[in-house]
Structure 1
Amino acid sequence: MDTRLIKSLQQVEELLQATPQIQPGWKSKDECYQWIAGTLKHFRYRTLSKPEKGLIKRYLIVASGYSRAQITRLIKEYLNLGLLKRKQRTTKGFETKYSKADIRLLAETDRLHNGLNGPAIKKICERAYQRGDGRYKRLAGISVSHLYNLRQSKTYQTVRLHKNVTRPVNRAIGTRRKPRPNGQPGYIRIDTVHQGDKDKVKGLYHINAVDEVTQFQVICTVERINEHFLIPVLEELLATFPFKIQGFHSDNGSEYINYPVASLLDSLYIKFTKSRSRKTNDNALVESKNGAIIRKMLGYAHKPKLT
């Protein structure tokens, strides 16, 4: 970085105002350290006022790419010693006995033998090396306890283990997407709230439906959520809204994702959509109404069925 033209505090301030972010272009850390020391010496940092010191510090942060804490440490070192010298690490640290290739070989051996216990795998490694397979030279002398340590390493797990992510449930009923009302009423979100069980007796079920745009809400109560009870209640619920229902969105509960409900909505020309996997906001509107309206009005206590 060429900063030879920056000679005064005014030029520094103009540079920071014009370009608040500068891409550092130092070839090495040693060169950057020398430039920082030269800049502090040129501007006589010791003699500057507090605002001027803050200006120089911002200049060093922007031009060097270092953090404020790092620049503060370097300035303190320069004021104490009169120079900056980068301390390089000279020790090699701990050397690893088992390489990543050894860990991958261990993972492959476990896979071939269906993940036997540690002592058995250790014997297999010893036998393989004794029969002339040089790849097992280091693994042949491994301890059982350290073998289990290698099984916990990231290298081993990336080779041996596989993540089972949540897979979307494929059902032909409904479209898996978020409703798009485009500011028009008639797109409702629906959910079921159970009033709880007591002494192995099922409580009532509340059907909560909310229009996404107008927030018009209809709540119905049924004794059970099977086809015999639910379909008549859904017909009455849909007819209660003061506008034409265009969309019907639910979560993936089986009380709605079934052919009788789909047939009812299809006969009324209502688009049936359902929540996507790992997208909790798809049905969040009615979920929030469950607690804010139903639980507030009806509470959590068990309410038994009439029959």
Structure 2
Amino acid sequence: MNEARLTTIEQIEQFLTASGSIEFSAADDNGERYWHISRVLARFDYPGRNKRERGVLLRYLQHTSGYSRAQVTRLVTRWQCNRLAAVPLVKRYRAPAAPFARKYTAVDVALLVEMDQAHEDVCGPAIAHLLQRAYRDYDDPRYERLAKLSVSHLYNLRKSAGYQARRRSFTKTRPVCNAIGVRKAPGPEGRAGFVRIDTVHQGDQDGVKGVYHITCVDAVSQWQVEACVEGISEAFLLPVLALIIDQFPFVIVGFHSDNGSEYINHHVASLLEKLRIEQTKSRSRHSNDNALAESKNASVVRKHMGYDHIPQAYAKPINAFYQDTFNPWLNLHRPCLFATLITNHKGKTVKRYKPQEVKTPLECLTQLAPLGRVTFKPGITLEALQIQARSQTDLAAAQAMQSAKRELFAGFVKPKRRA
């Protein structure tokens, strides 16, 4: 680019306006951009210009050289310092004539891989000592360079691409070793009394925790009990767990949860052992072990309680709403889908949800009772549950539940968000 005809600041301003969308490039092998900056600064007498004119020149140099504003400012400052000493503006750096030579070659990496494989990845100091012995005591010339390998650089070689390409190992996920509970899927075999439990958090707001909903559902009859607690420590959880178990009309035989510490602890284990209830927990890589409780979290809890933050202070009225209105409606009037196991042409057992298998949990208990698959608690009979269900129609029970829910939500006073 020949820009010698630009002799005034006004011409440079017009040039910048007209060439705003044009990009300039320079073959900078010989410091062409540095020479261009020096010529412009000298021709326009940069030190004698006022502040506005200096700004125009800096924008011009930034546009034509391709350097950033900070880099142009540094070069202009250096030019002014060198001008009095008549030192030209030149580059202070250059690319190396040849890349750095590798001290440890691919052959050395292969020897290190061989040593690591034979000794099954012992610590770095031990491998470094073995490499020294291979050269010093056993006179193997291949280990001459590796005998001087430091322990820190040994780990660098292990992380290198050449090492990783030759040796890469994968390990399976190790299950948590906890003696509490049996790691297996529940085996109800068509009997009621094997419940699955899970926890739903109602969200945080400005670092303040919300309430926790507890979903407990029978694996066969889908009889469901919802509860609410302020926190998931044993101080809040143990009394509510006893209340949940008490609300089931039949005897609880099995108690299944995921591996969360709120259920896998000695306090819960002691409570279940006192009631002679078997405690099981989900297995690794078996996401369906607790799928029924997790599906109820979405279709019941999130649908009716939503996702918004609810302060912990309202756990008690929510729990009263669950016990008095919500749980009876769930089990006596809300239909559920029940799966039918079918063996397809490939011999695989699959689940199908047929329209004729839609029923309420109470209707399912009515079918299980004649088969001897339900053990009701003392003082509770199937006839009493049926009378309770017939005291209200399904529509009236749902409307009463919705009315109680609106009244519950109207009493919530949520904290104001921080500005």
The TM-score bracket by the shorter chain reads 0.5 to 0.7
Is 1:188–1:249's contact at 8 Å kept on the other side of the alignment?
Answer: yes
- Look up the equivalent residue of 1:214 and give its one-letter code: S
1:187 is the counterpart of 2:187: no
Could you say which residue in structure 2 is the equivalent of 1:151? 163
Could you say which residue in structure 1 is the equivalent of 2:365? none
Partner Cα distance (1:235, 1:146) in 2: 58
1:258 deviates by 1.6
Could you say which residue in structure 2 is the equivalent of 1:200? 207
Partner Cα distance (1:248, 1:137) in 2: 64
1:259 deviates by 1.9
1:107 deviates by 4.2
Could you say which residue in structure 2 is the equivalent of 1:213? 220
- Aligned counterpart for 2:232 among listed residues 225, 232, 252: 225
1:112 deviates by 6.8
1:206 deviates by 0.3
1:292 is the counterpart of 2:303: no
Report the CA distance shift for 1:105/1:224 in structure 2 as closer, same or farther (over 3 A): closer
Bigger drift between 163-172 and 101-110 goes to: 101-110
Partner Cα distance (1:251, 1:139) in 2: 50
- Look up the equivalent residue of 1:151 and give its one-letter code: Y
Could you say which residue in structure 1 is the equivalent of 2:284? 277
**Per-residue Cα deviation, 1:133-156 (whole angstroms, up to 9, x for no partner):** 24448999xxxx9993421213x3
- The number of equivalent residue pairs is 195
Partner Cα distance (1:153, 1:115) in 2: 23
- Aligned counterpart for 1:104 among listed residues 113, 132, 136: 113
1:114 deviates by 4.8
Could you say which residue in structure 2 is the equivalent of 1:73? none
Could you say which residue in structure 2 is the equivalent of 1:72? none
Q: Which has the larger radius of gyration?
A: 2
Partner Cα distance (1:225, 1:289) in 2: 19
1:261 is the counterpart of 2:290: no
Report the CA distance shift for 1:264/1:132 in structure 2 as closer, same or farther (over 3 A): closer
Partner Cα distance (2:222, 2:123) in 1: 59
- Look up the equivalent residue of 1:150 and give its one-letter code: G
Report the CA distance shift for 1:151/1:209 in structure 2 as closer, same or farther (over 3 A): same
Which of structure 1's runs of 4+ aligned residues deviate more than 6 A? 137-140
Is 1:98–1:138's contact at 8 Å kept on the other side of the alignment?
Answer: no
1:102 deviates by 4.1
Could you say which residue in structure 1 is the equivalent of 2:312? 305
Report the CA distance shift for 1:180/1:199 in structure 2 as closer, same or farther (over 3 A): same
Partner Cα distance (1:202, 1:138) in 2: 59
* Bigger relative CO (Cα 8 Å, ≥ 6 apart): 1
Q: Secondary structure at the match of 2:312?
A: coil
> Sequence identity of aligned pairs in percent?
49
- Look up the equivalent residue of 2:113 and give its one-letter code: R
Partner Cα distance (1:112, 1:264) in 2: 46
- Look up the equivalent residue of 2:209 and give its one-letter code: K
1:178 deviates by 0.9
Is 2:192–2:250's contact at 8 Å kept on the other side of the alignment?
Answer: yes
Over the aligned positions, Cα root-mean-square deviation in angstroms equals 3.6
1:176 is the counterpart of 2:183: yes
Q: Secondary structure at the match of 1:206?
A: strand
TM-score normalised per structure 1: 0.54
Partner Cα distance (1:174, 1:132) in 2: 58
Q: Secondary structure at the match of 1:280?
A: coil
Partner Cα distance (2:306, 2:125) in 1: 53
Is 2:194–2:254's contact at 8 Å kept on the other side of the alignment?
Answer: yes
Is 2:213–2:226's contact at 8 Å kept on the other side of the alignment?
Answer: yes
List alignment gaps of at least 5 residues for structure 1: 1-96
1:276 deviates by 1.6
Is 1:185–1:212's contact at 8 Å kept on the other side of the alignment?
Answer: yes
Could you say which residue in structure 1 is the equivalent of 2:245? 238
Partner Cα distance (2:211, 2:123) in 1: 54
Report the CA distance shift for 1:98/1:205 in structure 2 as closer, same or farther (over 3 A): same
